[in-house]
Amino acid sequence: MNCRGSTRLTLNAPVHDGRERAPVTTRPPILLELGPDSDVAVRESDDGALRCVACSLRYGEGDFIAPARREMVRHLLLHQEEGGRVPQNAIERLAGTV
């Protein structure tokens, strides 16, 4: 069929062999990434909570979850106090001061 045809592709539409396409998933927004200037990664969960992914302050216990931005700001300040690299501009963005 040509590009101007009336057939539209939709999510989960059957592919040519009759199987359904896998649903499209999205990853939570990245608010802070691991990198040369950051020892932490922060993502926003689907429910709006913020996650410090594989938090080093939790000693292998998994993610730290903050229900609001101010709790994550406090948490990132703890990382800094413990000698962790957390960009100040990331903290300011989360605090809403930028």
- Residue 75's contacts (CB-CB under 8 Å, 6 or more residues apart) are 52, 55, 57, 64, 66
Give the global pTM. 0.68
Taking the C-alpha atoms of residue 77 and residue 96, their distance in angstroms, rounded to an integer, is 15
Mean pLDDT value across residues 61-86: 95
Question: CB of 31 within 8 A of CB of 43?
Answer: yes
Q: Quick one: pLDDT band at residue 90, thresholds 50, 70, 90?
A: very high
pLDDT given at position 1: 43
Break the chain into its structural domains and give their ranges. 31-95
